[in-house]
Structure 1
Amino acid sequence: MSILSDRDEKMFAPSLSLEQQKDLAIKLTSFLSQYSHLSDSYIIEFFTENLWQTLPACWQSVLKDLSSPQIADLLLDATCKDRRYPSVWPLSLLAFRATAHALAFPREDSHSREAVAGTVKPDEFQENNSQSSLLGHIFRKHVKPKKQHEIRKLGTLVKLICDETGCSQVVDVGSGQGHLTRFLSYGLGLSVTAIEADQHLVSMATVFDRQLLWALDKEKQKRNCSFPIPDSSPCHVAGWVNPSATWKDFLRQLKTSPPGVNQSPPTFAPLKKKLKGSTHETKVQETDQTSPTAVAHGHLNKTEVSSSTNCSNFNEDSTDRESFPDFVLTGLHACGDLSATLLRHFVKCPHVRGITSVACCYMKITTKEHPAPPGLVQCPASQTTDTRSEFGYPMSSWVKGLPGHALSYKAREGSCHAIEDYIRRLREDSERLRTHCYRAMLESFIRDVRADLRRAGIQTIKKAHLLPFTEYARLGLPRVGLPSDLPLDSARVEAMLKHQGRVVVFFSLALLLCPVVETLVLLDRIIYLQENGVDSQLVPLFNPNLSPRNFVLVALKQL
C-alpha cells in the first residue's frame, strides 16, 4: 500500500512487498559475500597485495587493455545501449556485471526529465551554474548548488508529508547551518525545531536566520510595502542525539534550550542593521495575501516582520500525547548511526507521524563486528565503552539472520563513492584517474622501509594528477614520517606506471559493487520498518550527478 496519495504516487518508485524485500535481501547478501574480496579490497594495496592476480585469469585477459571510456561503457554504466566488446567476455564476468546492476536500486527517477536528459546538473542550473532558478534568492545565500537542489526537493517532500499527516511541526536533525530549516520555516510555513551537535554551526544558523529577515526587512523598506511570510521562526537547539537514548530523552532535548542559545551570536559583515526588538529569533506574521510558496520561490513583494525571543517550539512539560504535538522527522544526510537512530525514534515515539531520511557516511555505522568504526562521534559527555545492544546495521531481524550479511568497514566506505562522477572521469579519460595508481605506488615504497605502516593516511595532495610521481612522493612521504628524499628506483617506478590502466579496472570492479552495498543497507531499514508495521518507500529524489547520496527513505504512520 502506498504511503502517499494517488496524485503523488507517480513521483516515486514502487514499493516492494515484504516477501519481495526478503527475497532481495537473500540475493544481495549471497552476491556480496561471494565477491567480498573485491568490496573489501583497498586500491592503495594494488601492488603490495598483488590485487590484479586475485581476479580470475579469464577476467584479466579481457580487462587488461581496456581504455577508460570502454570501462565506463562495458562495466559501470547500466544505461549504456551500445556496448562494443573488443573481445569475447567470459560468462562469469558478464554475469557479475549484470547481477550487480540488477540488484542495485535504480539511482535515477524514471519520471524525471533531468534523469532522462543525463545532464551533469539539473535543468534548474542551466542558466546559472551556481544558482537554482527554482529556489528563491533569499534561500540561496551561503548555499552551494548541491545543497540548493537538495533543500528545495527535500523541503517540498517534507511539506507533502506534513500535509498528508496533518502535522505543522517538523524536527530537522543534524541541521548544520540551517539551510533546510530556513526553507521549511520561512519558505514553506512549517514550525521547525532544528537540532545540531556542533554549537558553532548552531550559532552560524542563527546568524543566517537574522540575515534572511534583515533582507526581507530591507526589501520591505525599498518597496514601501508589507510582505507576509508564515508565522513561524525556526528554533535551533545545540545537542548530540545519543543513539543509546530513548525517544523520551530525545523529546526532552527538543524542549530544552541550552545555555547561550538565546543569546545574539556575532554579527557577520552583511548584517549591519539590527532588526527592531530582535534578540535572537524573529517571528513573521502571515496574512492571506501571499502564500508561503511565493516566499519559497522568491516573490518578495510585501513584508511584515515582528520579533520573538521564544526559542522552543516544544515547550510543554509532559511527553503525553495530549500535551505534546505530533511532528515529522527529517534528516538531510544524517551521518552514520544518526539516520538509524531517527528511524528507531520514528517507530517507537507516538508523536512522530512521518519521516524523510537521507543517509550518508555508511562507514561510520556501528555493527556488532565494528562497534566503534573510525570517525564515529562518541558522546561528548562520556568516554565510557558503548554497551548498546542495537547497532546501525543490520536493523532488521530478517537481515540479521541471513548468512553473509556482514558488511566490512571498507565495503560501507566504498558505498559512499560517487559512481556517476567516476563514469564521467572515465569517459573524459581524465588525468585524475592516475591518482589511485600514484597512491598504490607510494604504498609500495612506504612498506619497503616501514612494513608496519599499512594504509597510513597522507590526506589529499593538491592537484596530484598534474605532478610527476617523484614530486607526488616527495610531498607524501613526510606525511607518514619518512624522509622526502627517500630513494626511488626509477625502473620500478616506470614499471608500475604502466599498470595504471589495470589499477583503474580493478577499482571499477570494486566500484560496481558500491551501489549494491548501499542497497542492502537501505533495504535492511525498509524491512525494519515493515517488521514494525510501517510501510515505506525509497525515493531517488535528488539528481545523482549532483548529489551522490540521493535516496530518501519516506514513511508515515496512519492513526
Structure 2
Amino acid sequence: MAFNSLPIDTLKKKIDEAVRFLSISLSIANAHTVDFYTRDVWSTFISASPDEVLSAINSSDRTGAAEEKKNTTFGFCNTTKKLVDVSAILRAAKAHSLSGLEVCIQLEELMHDLKLMTGDIVAGERLDRCVVPGEFMNCKKAHEVRAMSEVVNGLAKCCKVKQVIDVGSGKGYLCSFLSVQFNLQVFGIDSSSTNTHGAQERNRKLKKFSKAYKKRSRATRSQEAQPSNDGDDRTEKHSNNDQEVGSTNCSTPVESCASQDQVTTDVSSKKAIECTADPNDCEAGDGFFNMLSLAVVEDNSPRVHPSQLSEEEKERRKRENLERKTREGLSNGSDDNLFSPLTSYVTAETELKTLITKLEDAVLVGLHTCGDLAPSTLRMFRAKQELRAVCSVGCCYHLLSEEFHPDRQECADGVCGFPMSQFLKDQACFCGRNARMSACLALERVSAGGGLPMESLFFRAVLHVILRDHYDSFKSEKRVGNVYSKTTSFVDYVRRALKKLVLDDSKLPDDVIQNYHERYSHRMNEMIAFNMLKVTLAPCIEGLILLDRLYYLKEQENVSHSALVQLFDPLQSPRCYAIVGIK
C-alpha cells in the first residue's frame, strides 16, 4: 500500500467494522480486574471454562472463516450477551486489528514514496539505510529514534524545510540525533524544565563529540587515500575493535513516553548501554556513536579537591573555563546551535511564534506523546500553516479524555482527545477508561512469552474482597500502589496494603487473611484467561483510536497526504504506529 493510497470511503468502512466489533466485545475490556471476584466478573461475561479459553488462545489455528454458532455475534450470545464461542472472538479480534483491517503501510513503503516525491530516487532504486545510534541510548530508544528520524528527515526533504518542532521532547534523544545526524534545526518543547535542562546538557556533549568525530573521520579518509602495504591488517583490526564495542545485548527496557506533565530527573548514566548492531548498518555515522558511548558516560576517576591543586593548575583551569564560556556565548547566537530545548505547556491553540522567534516552515513531530498530547499535536498541525508535515506516535491511551463517555471528566480547554474525527463524533463514540487501559497491553510481547503480572493482579482482587467484607467505609477508588514488589507473601501484601490505605489491620489475624487466599486460589485461572482475552482485544481498541486520528487528517482540506505507518518492531516498542501527514 502506497502513501495516501487509502481512500476515505474505504477507511470509513474499516472504522465501521471496528466499531461494530467493539460495541459487542468492549464489555470484557471494560471490566476492572480489581472487581474480578467482588462482582463475579467471569460468570457475568463468560459462558465457557477458563481451560477452554486458554486452550483456544494458545492454539495457533485462528485462520479461516469457520461457521459461527447459531444466535451469536462474534462469539457472544445475542440473548445473554455472554461469550460462548471463544474461537469466534479470537478470529474476529484478529480480523479487526490494524493488520487484519489492512490499513497500515510499512516504513520502507513510506520512505520509498517520500523519496519519489522528493526526487531523490527513481522507482525501483535501492534505499540507503539509516545509521543505528546503538550506543547513544538504550536499545528501545535507539530503535525508535532510528526509524523516527529517518521519517522526519524524509518529510523535511519532501517539504523542503530545515526546521523541526518536537512536542513532548523529553530528554531530547530524538532532537539531538536529528540535529547532529541530519543537520536539521530542532526545537524541542517539553513542559518539564528538568527534561529540557538535561536535554540541553546532553546536546552540548553531542555537539562536542560530533566535531571530534568529524575531525577524526577527515583524518581517516586522508590516511586511506594514501597507499599502504599494511592497509588490510589495519582495517581488519579496526573492524574487530568496533565489533567488540557493540557486542553486548541489553535487556528489554521499560516503556517510556513524552508527557505534558511528566517530570523526570535527568541522571547521567554511569555505563553506556550497548546494543547489538546489524553489520549491514555499519555506515560512517556508527563510528560517531561508538566513540560517543565511551566519552559521554560519567567520569568515575577520583576528583582532586581544589585545595590540593597547585597554583599553576588553578590558573590553567580558570583560563580554560573562561575560554569555554566565551566560545559558548558566541555560538549561542549562531546557526551552529541546531537544537534548542524549550520549556512550555502546549496545546493546539499555542502560538508557536511566541516560543520560537525565528520560526519558519517546519515538520511537527511527537514521539510517544502521552494521552491528549498526541491529538493536540494533530490539531496543532491542522491549525498552523507553517507546519508543513507531521509525524505523531502516541501512547498512554488510558490518559485520553473522551467527549462522550457518560462518566467523563471535564476536558482540557474544552477539547477532548477522543474522538477527533467528525465521523465518530456524529456517532457519539466512546471506549471507556478500562478499555483504553487494555489498549496499552502488548499482545506481541505476551505472545512471545512476556506474560502478565498475574499474581499481583490476583492479590489485588482478593484484597478487594477483604476490604468489602471488613472495611465498610473503604472507598474502592483508592489506590494501593506498588506494594506487591516489596512483599514476601499474601499476608504480608495485605498488611502493607492496609497500612498504605490507612486502615486498621489489627482486627485481621494472619489465618483469616490466608483463608481468603486459599478460598480464591483455585479460581486464579479465571483471572488469567480473562486477562488474556483483554490482551487479545488490545490491538482492536488501539486500532480504533488511531483510525479516528487518521480519519481526522483525511477530513482536513489542507492535508494532501496522510497515512498510518508501522514505524517500530512491536516487540521492542509496543506503541509502534505513527500518524503521518503532509499539507
Global fold match (TM > 0.5): yes
Give the match for residue 73 of structure 1. 58
Give the match for residue 361 of structure 2. 326
Give the match for residue 182 of structure 2. 188
Give the match for residue 88 of structure 2. 95
Give the match for residue 530 of structure 1. 554
* Aligned residue runs from structure 1 range 400-479, under 5 A: 400-402=425-427, 405-425=429-449, 432-451=453-472, 452-461=474-483, 463=485, 467-479=488-500
Change beyond 3 A, Cα 1:449–1:80: farther
Counterpart of 1:469, as a letter, is F
Give the match for residue 209 of structure 2. 215
* Aligned residue runs from structure 1 range 142-161, under 5 A: 143-161=137-155
Once residues 497 and 240 of structure 1 are traced to their aligned partners in structure 2, the CA distance between those partners, rounded to angstroms, is: 38
Is residue 2:158 matched to residue 1:135? no
Once residues 317 and 36 of structure 1 are traced to their aligned partners in structure 2, the CA distance between those partners, rounded to angstroms, is: 39
Cα pair 2:393 2:579 within 8 Å, conserved: yes
Cα pair 1:356 1:553 within 8 Å, conserved: yes
Deviation string 1:419-478 (CA, Å, 9 cap, x unpaired) is 22333447xxx69432221111111112222344214311123547x8432222233221
Compute the displacement of 1:98 (Å).
1.3
Once residues 91 and 481 of structure 2 are traced to their aligned partners in structure 1, the CA distance between those partners, rounded to angstroms, is: 35
* Aligned residue runs from structure 1 range 157-556, under 5 A: 157-216=151-210, 225=219, 294-295=284-285, 298=288, 308-310=331-333, 325-369=360-404, 388-402=413-427, 405-425=429-449, 432-451=453-472, 452-461=474-483, 463=485, 467-484=488-505, 486-487=508-509, 488-533=512-557, 534=559, 535-556=561-582
Counterpart of 1:555, as a letter, is G
Change beyond 3 A, Cα 1:222–1:344: closer
Cα pair 1:226 1:301 within 8 Å, conserved: no
Compute the displacement of 1:174 (Å).
0.5
Give the match for residue 116 of structure 2. none
Change beyond 3 A, Cα 1:473–1:204: same
Once residues 291 and 480 of structure 2 are traced to their aligned partners in structure 1, the CA distance between those partners, rounded to angstroms, is: 52
Change beyond 3 A, Cα 1:386–1:531: closer
SS of 1:537's equivalent in the other structure is: strand
Change beyond 3 A, Cα 1:225–1:371: farther
Change beyond 3 A, Cα 1:532–1:78: farther
Deviation string 1:478-527 (CA, Å, 9 cap, x unpaired) is 12122455333544321201111110111112222221111111111111
Structure with more helix by fraction: 2
Change beyond 3 A, Cα 1:309–1:36: same
Change beyond 3 A, Cα 1:202–1:370: farther
SS of 2:431's equivalent in the other structure is: coil
Counterpart of 1:547, as a letter, is S
| Greater RCO (CA < 8 Å, at least 6 residues apart) | 1
Change beyond 3 A, Cα 1:548–1:78: farther
Is residue 2:43 matched to residue 1:53? yes
Cα pair 1:425 1:432 within 8 Å, conserved: no
Once residues 189 and 209 of structure 2 are traced to their aligned partners in structure 1, the CA distance between those partners, rounded to angstroms, is: 25
Cα pair 1:537 1:553 within 8 Å, conserved: yes
SS of 2:574's equivalent in the other structure is: coil
Compute the displacement of 1:224 (Å).
9.6
Compute the displacement of 1:355 (Å).
0.7
Change beyond 3 A, Cα 1:476–1:351: same
Deviation string 1:107-157 (CA, Å, 9 cap, x unpaired) is 9989799xxxxxxxxxxxxxxxxxxx95246xx34x221111100111111
Between the aligned residues of both structures, percent identity stands at 26
Unaligned ranges ≥5, structure 2: 67-74, 76-82, 109-129, 222-257, 271-282, 293-323, 343-350
Once residues 39 and 269 of structure 1 are traced to their aligned partners in structure 2, the CA distance between those partners, rounded to angstroms, is: 39
Counterpart of 1:39, as a letter, is A
Cα pair 1:187 1:296 within 8 Å, conserved: no
Once residues 207 and 144 of structure 2 are traced to their aligned partners in structure 1, the CA distance between those partners, rounded to angstroms, is: 22
SS of 1:298's equivalent in the other structure is: helix
Cα pair 2:57 2:90 within 8 Å, conserved: no
SS of 2:469's equivalent in the other structure is: helix
Change beyond 3 A, Cα 1:402–1:111: closer
Cα RMSD, aligned residues only:
4.2
Once residues 266 and 64 of structure 1 are traced to their aligned partners in structure 2, the CA distance between those partners, rounded to angstroms, is: 45
Cα pair 1:136 1:296 within 8 Å, conserved: yes
Cα pair 1:333 1:358 within 8 Å, conserved: yes
Change beyond 3 A, Cα 1:424–1:459: farther
Once residues 266 and 436 of structure 2 are traced to their aligned partners in structure 1, the CA distance between those partners, rounded to angstroms, is: 39
SS of 2:500's equivalent in the other structure is: helix
Compute the displacement of 1:390 (Å).
2.9
Give the match for residue 252 of structure 1. none
Runs of 4 or more above 6 Å deviation:
77-81, 107-113, 220-224, 239-242, 265-270, 299-302, 311-319, 371-374
Cα pair 1:26 1:402 within 8 Å, conserved: no
Q: Name the TM-score, length of structure 2 as normaliser.
A: 0.66
